[in-house]
């Protein structure tokens, strides 16, 4: 199962000032598989320790004598020597926080030895650690589920991925290929990007029921983890919030919609824990007046985004067993469509940048104008609208453009691509010319490339 982050790992491996790398991501997004596959292709030997399964092995790193620790590790792993051609992998490192000291010593004394660490609940450790983190001596890599193109690769459609990766806005997409890509987009809505669910689907020769079974297993695993949070919150409340979140996607979160009888402060605490576990993300409100967008965040206003659309579909009980190539297949699936685009845009950053996403609504009273997402492309703030079908008004998008003088706007829907110069026509606002780009949902992974290419062509013309 190929992951685009393999290239990020290759870049890390070849850096002259390479630091120990810590992979941060939710449970079961494929961290361990990624590292193992990378090691197999790029190193002569591989030493892996899972501290959750073998906590006693942290004793190998008690000493500040780096050479002695390496010697003990060689004995434990039964390897002749640990060198620059050996990849060290410390999995579930949150179960042995003292090993972070070893990462520091490696960087300072043996930077030639490549080491990667990973942890599914690492955020809890980082939030309340009682030890000295090796600040400036480690790098981070943020990892989410498979994206749509990785999903296509996993189910054997490399040609479609190549087509998407080379598509130009001035090229038309044949209707047959458009329908095929919409079909697989709908399939992704059901299966999602959790590696185990995708693997179950392929191993069963395309049985959707096997992917749905794996979803339930993953969801149950997350709930089993809740017992680890007992000191922080009521795990029954945490379970309640966890089960409610999928039905709230696409709307500003109000605590009363989770439980009108519970305290907002307690519900907020549960949300924070789920966010730390990277199961849930806040799409934060930004005024959108300038970059960085986070500079104008209103912490009290946010929309929920779940880890993966397949898990959302299963949580909502959408046990679909039949697919269609109808272009209107996603009508009445607005929240799912917003989840699909959101989980892709969330990781539309450099691998070492923390995933974050923003939206906008007009803060004036009695105003209903809202833009689903805001992006920063080429130093410009770009409003993004998401439509579940082929049609839909662009009123909110145009309100944003008129108020912020944005030069560019993007829409995702189920139609073939459109790129054109347009002008806003808003009452009591000055007309504003802008570039409008409409993309089918399946081109979400290519949005930045296509936008930058279109801007470049405008400049050349």
Domains of the chain, earliest start first: 5-142 (3.40.50.300), 148-460 (no CATH)
Tell me how far apart the alpha carbons of residues 85 and 231 are, in angstroms, rounded to a whole number: 42
Helix H or strand E segment including 284: strand 280-286
Q: What's the confidence (pLDDT) of residue 71?
A: 94
Instruction: Give percent helix, percent strand, percent coil of the chain, each to the nearest 5.
Output: 45, 20, 35
Q: Of 312-321, 363-372, 376-385, where does the model show the most confidence?
A: 376-385
229 pLDDT higher than 50 = yes
DSSP code of residue 326 = -
Supply 115's token pair.
């080491």
Would you say the pTM of this structure is higher than 0.95? Answer: no
Average pLDDT of span 195-217? 96
* Tens digits of residue pLDDT in 330-357: 444 789 999 999 999 999 888 999 999 9
Q: Of 29-43, 133-147, 314-328, 409-423, where does the model show the most confidence?
A: 29-43
pLDDT band at 130 (very low <50, low <70, confident <90, very high): low
Tell me how far apart the alpha carbons of residues 340 and 184 are, in angstroms, rounded to a whole number: 13
Give the mean pLDDT of the chain: 89
Tell me how far apart the alpha carbons of residues 333 and 249 are, in angstroms, rounded to a whole number: 11
Average pLDDT of span 194-198? 98
Q: What's the confidence (pLDDT) of residue 430?
A: 78
Q: Looking at 16-25, 240-249, 386-395, 440-449, which range is the least confident one?
A: 386-395
Supply 251's token pair.
């709307």
Q: What's the confidence (pLDDT) of residue 228?
A: 72
């Amino acid at each position: 199962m190929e992951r685009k982050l393999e290239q990020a790992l290759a870049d890390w491996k070849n850096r002259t000032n390479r630091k120990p790398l810590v992979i941060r991501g939710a449970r079961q997004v494929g961290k361990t598989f990624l590292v193992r596959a990378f090691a197999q292709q790029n190193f002569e030997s591989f030493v892996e320790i899972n501290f959750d399964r073998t906590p006693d092995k942290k004793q190998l790193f008690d000493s500040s004598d780096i050479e002695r620790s390496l010697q003990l590790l060689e004995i434990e792993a039964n390897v002749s020597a640990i060198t620059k051609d050996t990849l060290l992998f410390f999995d579930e490192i949150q179960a042995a926080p003292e090993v972070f000291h070893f990462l520091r010593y490696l960087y300072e004394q043996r930077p030639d030895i490549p080491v990667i660490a990973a942890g599914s609940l690492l955020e809890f450790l980082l939030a309340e650690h009682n030890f000295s983190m090796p600040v400036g001596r480690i790098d981070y890599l943020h990892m989410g589920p498979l994206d749509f193109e990785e999903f296509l690769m996993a189910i054997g459609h490399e040609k479609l991925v190549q087509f998407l990766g080379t598509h130009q806005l001035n090229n038309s997409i044949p209707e047959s290929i458009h329908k095929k890509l919409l079909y697989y987009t709908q399939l992704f809505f059901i299966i999602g990007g959790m590696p185990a669910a995708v693997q179950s689907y392929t191993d069963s020769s395309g049985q959707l029921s096997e992917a749905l079974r794996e979803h339930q297993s993953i969801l149950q695993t997350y709930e089993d983890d809740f017992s680890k949070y007992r000191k922080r919150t009521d795990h029954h409340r945490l379970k309640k919030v966890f089960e409610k979140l999928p039905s709230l996607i696409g709307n500003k979160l109000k605590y009363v919609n989770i439980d009108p009888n519970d305290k907002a402060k307690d519900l907020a605490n549960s949300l924070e824990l789920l966010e730390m576990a990277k199961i849930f993300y806040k799409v934060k409100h930004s005024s959108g007046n300038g970059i960085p967008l986070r500079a104008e965040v209103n912490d009290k206003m946010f929309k929920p985004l779940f880890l993966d659309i397949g898990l959302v579909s299963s949580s909502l009980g959408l046990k679909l067993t039949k697919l269609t190539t109808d272009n209107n297949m996603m009508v009445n699936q607005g929240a799912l469509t917003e989840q699909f685009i959101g989980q892709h845009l969330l990781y539309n950053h450099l691998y070492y940048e923390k995933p974050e996403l923003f939206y906008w609504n007009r803060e004036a009273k009695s105003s209903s104008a809202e833009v689903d997402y805001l992006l920063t492309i080429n130093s410009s703030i770009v409003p993004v609208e998401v439509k579940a079908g082929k049609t839909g008004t662009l009123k909110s998008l145009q309100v944003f453009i008129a108020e912020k003088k944005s030069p560019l706007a993007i829409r995702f829907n189920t139609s073939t691509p459109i790129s054109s110069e347009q002008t806003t026509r808003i009452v009591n606002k000055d007309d504003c010319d802008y570039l409008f780009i409409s993309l089918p949902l399946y081109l979400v992974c290519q949005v930045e490339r296509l936008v930058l290419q279109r801007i470049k062509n405008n400049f050349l013309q």
